[in-house]
A and B are shown apart, each in its own frame.
Chain A
Amino acid sequence: MTQTESPIIDNGVNIDALRGARQALTDAPEAAQFQWRATCEWVRGTHSRSTITDFSGLGAQHAHRQAFSIDADHPEVFASEDHGATPPEIVLAALASCMTAGIATVATNRGVQLRSVTATVEADMDLQGILGIDGDVRNGFSAINVTYQIDADASRADLEAIVAQSQKRSAVFDIVTNPTTVHVGLA
């Protein structure tokens, strides 16, 4: 391995491409209109399998490199067979993944070399909501706590700023913290 004079902060993020995309979409906002899609098929009981293959954006249709599938189920304590994570847990994974991607991007943009980033997510839920026992209790989480452990060449204040900025630019953070109108119907 050769020694370089100054470390190249990369973090596996192609920051120049992202900066270029930001400029391109500023100039052509119609290309910024994306649609994300998933299909979900019932397997048996509470077990279902979602498949994600394609999306649209930049004025075209796009396919993922391969189809991805996610199994969801309920655990055995709910008298289910536990073939996958519960849907709320998948939401927590999505939240942490989204912000972690943001941390890598923001850190790279700010010239911070990351060595490790680990998020621990805990979310409280009162089951009296989804079971319809208490109408005052909501179905979803009453609170979500995310704790990051980050090993990087930066001060604690800089890391706090990176974590804060990653929330500000996170799609799932916005999806979770702010209301979204949802339409559900029969085809």
Chain B
Amino acid sequence: MHVSAVIVGAGPGGLAMSHHLTGIGVDHVVLERDQVASSWRRERWDSLRLLTPNWMTRLPGYGYHGGDPNGFMTATETVEFLDRYRHTFDPPVRTGVTVRSVVRTADGFEVRADEGCWRCDAVVVATGASSRPRVPALATDLPRDVDQLTALAYRRPTQLTGDGRVLVVGASASGVQIADELRRAGREVTLAVGEHVRLPRSYRGCDIYWWLDRIGQLDERFDEVDDIGRARRHASVQLVGNDDRRDLDLNALQDAGVQVVGRFMALRGTTAQCSGSLANMVKNADLKQARLLRRIDEFVDEKGLSDQVGPVTDASPTRLGRPTTELDLRGFSTVIWATGYQPDLGWLPADAIDRRGRVIHDGGVAAVPGLYLLGQPFLRRRRSNLIAGMGVDAQDLGDHLRSHLDQRSRERLVR
């Protein structure tokens, strides 16, 4: 079979790209291993909600129009949203097709799946940023009687067997949410904290994402920031999307009784050695949060909005006692690795990947001509990994893809 473009993955990114390619008349197919939005169906814990408010949940040609614009969608509601989106334009999705490899040919690409083979001029990788958990190597040396789980496999507190303490490793959105949920379910919880990003749920009476959107922070481009490599590796924000709009920073967790320690660095026998750098990590996060809030204040002053929003407040510094640097794991029954995710890209052509397993690309345009990447952290803008970022990225990259196809046609004519 020949099509101009193959989109791999029918999540928000793949559907947004399909919508745009449909609009600009590029024939394509969307290959999906399971059903539309499969990772949203199968790879999220029960209580998970989007970090962004409903009004932001918007894809090209379709947005949230329910009665709770300031609420946060559950994973199930996100699936329903994507299903409804799909029915608005009927994209050419082939479900149950697992792509095994993409091979470069003299004339473009061959996308190989068990269910068929597609020849094409362009491939869009929209399989998501969180296909596989990142787990540090020392996990293999943990005591055998300690259960291990990744954030990707975590579903609910009752899933955990044993009644000892739980060590949650990682203090990004996943880690703080899981630690909080387990603590509320009555478990004794220790959270190992490395570099993290602290944010309040609301500031001056408005949701933090409303501010990030308004001040233009989410639209900062990949070619404008100082060190895009570092920006892409940032941990996700310490936030939860809840109706009570509470903060979920280290102060809130410690108030709830969660023990906070430094980054889990090494194992010596049954002792986990935690970094003594926690005070600096916390200070850095406090400083960065303060800088962002000041930026919001400046925006308010500039636009003369101060009568319409709440007063300036200073976040209280993160409290730290004298955190221990050693944990005796014999008191723990479960370790949950919330140490990040990575995309699964081993099926791409070898020359598309660098030695660290990442696609070589410039804002989603891969070094291999005709190959595109979508839905990765800070791919083209700070919003790139949000559902609210898929539309604008799909438009940019879809237009680039279209010009690539035009150039291929011209080359074929000359030959």
Contact = CB atoms under 8 A, between A and B. Distances in A.
A130 interface: no
| Chain B interface bracket (under 10, 10 to 19, 20 to 34, 35 or more) | 10 to 19
A157 B293 CA distance: 13
B277 A178 contact: yes
A26 B287 CA distance: 28
Interface stretch (A3-11, A35-43, A111-119, A169-177): A169-177
B350 to A, nearest CB: 19
A91 B283 CA distance: 23
B277 A179 contact: no
Interface of B is mostly: mixed
Contact of A173 (B266, B273, B277, B283): B277
Interface of B: 262-263, 265-266, 268, 273, 275-277, 280, 283-284, 287, 290-291, 322
B268 A164 contact: no
A178 B276 contact: yes
A157 B287 contact: yes
Contact of B284 (A164, A173, A174, A178): A164
22 contacts: A157-B290, A161-B284, A161-B287, A161-B291, A164-B280, A164-B287, A168-B280, A168-B284, A173-B277, A173-B280, A174-B277, A176-B276, A177-B262, A177-B275, A178-B265, A178-B275, A178-B276, A178-B277, A179-B265, A179-B266, A179-B273, A181-B266
Given A157-B291, A178-B263, 17 more contacts: A143-B322, A157-B290, A160-B283, A164-B280, A164-B283, A165-B284, A167-B280, A168-B280, A168-B284, A173-B280, A177-B276, A177-B277, A178-B273, A178-B277, A179-B266, A179-B273, A181-B266
A157 B322 CA distance: 24
Contacts, number: 38
A174 to B, nearest CB: 7
Contacts of A160: 283, 287
Given A143-B322, A157-B290, A161-B287, A167 B265 contact: no
Interface residues of A, number: 15
A179 B275 CA distance: 8
Contact of A179 (B268, B283, B287): B268
A178 B262 CA distance: 10
A1 B80 CA distance: 73
A164 B317 CA distance: 15
Interface in A130-157: 143, 157
B327 to A, nearest CB: 13
